[in-house]
A and B are shown apart, each in its own frame.
Chain A
Amino acid sequence: MDQTLKKQLEITACKVRMGIIEGVFNAKSGHPGGSLSVADLLTYLYFHKMHVDPKNPKMADRDRLVLSKGHTAPALYSVLAQRGFFEVDELKTLRKIGSRLQGHPDMKHIPGVDMSTGSLGQGISAACGIALSGKISCDNYKVYAVLGDGEIEEGQVWEAAMFAAHNKLDNLVAIVDNNGLQIDGKITEVCSPMPITDKFEAFGWHVITMNAHDFNDIERAFDEAEKINGQPVAIIQKSVKGKGVSFMENQVGWHGTAPNAEQYEQAMSELKAQLEKLEG
């Protein structure tokens, strides 16, 4: 990846993380851990990969993204705001009465949200439907579905996995955010969905693994995905829950907890320091 582009994406991802913390802190609730783990992925997709237009969010030939792990809406909202779909300041209204920024993505009201999600396991099916529709009418758009590694414990995910491979949906890329943690603990201790790679391969998908926090590796994975014909692609991204905020990293407790004022200050000062270093 071009070094200037890489730096620019890193700067944007840092701002996205700040937006996540801002939103969840103001809401006094929400899911920072899994939002931070997909911040780099969503930044890459919306700022480099996807064909979207913030001025025309319903553009017919746009690429679509379904955030199947809908609880990490703060990350999606923050990326959409940075990309210009709405004002960054609106992130402070997250989860508040009267706000468009519902606790989970609402396609009816938020510009740039392609599917309402939140109940785990459902988004991947909708993504299959969007991809199938594109195949039927020979549209060129791509569909990206982002799932949690805990989410894939839902049986519906595997119904969808079967359907996507059967219908050769090579315009569909599912990204599994493998941060290893879910609400009740480590995914391997709650009710292990491992091995993830083997499962998707057995279901007929082309599987790629990538480092979720290295834009060079993200680019490598999506370049490979682009070359696959005749089958859907699953990218298993090895990520760190809470990535970017030291005290949230790899801590299951930060799945669905908002920082208090002191923690907010610390998180923001860490992210500001990272941003200054990147911009320096």
Chain B
Amino acid sequence: MADVIKKATRESYGEALAELSNEYPDLIVLDADLAAATKTGIFKKACPERFFDCGIAEANMMGVAAGIASTGKKVFASSFAMFAAGRAFEIVRNSIGYPHLNVKIGATHAGISVGEDGATHQCNEDIALMRTIPGMTIINPADDVEAKAAVKAALDFEGPVYMRFGRLAVPVFNDKETYKFELGKGVQLRDGNDVTIIATGLMVNEALIAAETLASEGIKARVINIHTIKPLDKDIVIKAAQETGVIVTAEEHSVIGGLGGAVAETVTESCPVPVIKVGVNDVFGHSGPAVDLLKEFGLCAENIVAKVKEAVKLKK
């Protein structure tokens, strides 16, 4: 196998903001004392006059973003997922979500792959929280190519968007020459009719590896990448349920309320089939190297393979 290029989607986020700064002259970027980590520092270097550090005050930052958006400018507000979706939840709901203001939230360091910082910073609940806000769009890109395209798509979209980026460098599997991002559309990456693996974020690459392993054992798995968790591409999910009869979801997020929850809610209403979830099983994380934690918490191809084998037995 050729050398796989790895890159953290937070890097893609910061680079995309800087690269798009000329095309969007009214783009303002806010951060809360984490510009070096969220990578908005790259934008700050390119456009210092359009970057504002709000200090360690995420609640105020979200309100400031709402105010800026109300005047017609484009704005990104950035912090770690834990603070953007967690600490500032009610401001995001009431000051951004309720008036449906055009604020983009760039939330980095999502999930268990934060690593050594441990449970206080490993946010496995952000998708669930954001999904409950009416009118909130949620994008969780899988690699560098998708992340950069998603930032541009979010800027071209009118309305609040929550974007989830990771700290860990992950394989770049999309081809930037041919890749097209369509907001709200799932992407079928591999065909198969025995089972469907629906994955998001860094678990998409793991799902592809799992599908390869399963194929060698005679199980043909369809693989779908859901980068837009809300609004969910219900058509692609229902089609998968109808054609493959069983679904395994994979996400670096709690099994409660995330992609697995969204998929389960969709199929139970339209085409009930078993939905098995690979995710963080309603527990807190802990400190350790990100790669080791992902394995420990079952957020890896091996666990997807194991869960798929259980899942296909449930098919009627």
Contacts and interface: CB of A to CB of B under 8 A. Distances in A.
A122 B70 contact: no
Given A129-B65, A132-B52, A167-B52, A122 B71 contact: no
Nearest to A136: B28
B67 interface: yes
Interface residues of A, number: 34
A88 to B, nearest CB: 25
Contacts, number: 106
B95 interface: yes
A130 to B, nearest CB: 4
Interface in A101-153: 106-108, 114-116, 118-119, 121-134, 136-137
A222 interface: no
Contacts of A121: 59
B54 A130 contact: no
A86 interface: no
B99 A107 contact: yes
Nearest to B63: A125
A130 B67 contact: yes
A114 B70 contact: yes
Interface in A42-100: 60, 66
Interface size class of B (residues with CB under 8 A): 20 to 34
B60 to A, nearest CB: 4
A162 interface: yes
Contacts of B55: 159, 162-163, 166
A235 to B, nearest CB: 20
Contacts of A116: 94-95, 98-99
A133 B63 contact: no
Given A136-B50, A167-B52, A125 B95 contact: yes
B149 to A, nearest CB: 27
Contact of A136 (B59, B61, B73, B94): B73
A251 interface: no
B90 interface: yes
Contacts of B95: 115-116, 119, 122, 125-126
A160 interface: yes
B57 A129 contact: no
Contact of A124 (B63, B70, B72): B63
Interface string A147-187: 00000000110011011001100000000000000000000
Interface of A: 60, 66, 106-108, 114-116, 118-119, 121-134, 136-137, 155-156, 159-160, 162-163, 166-167
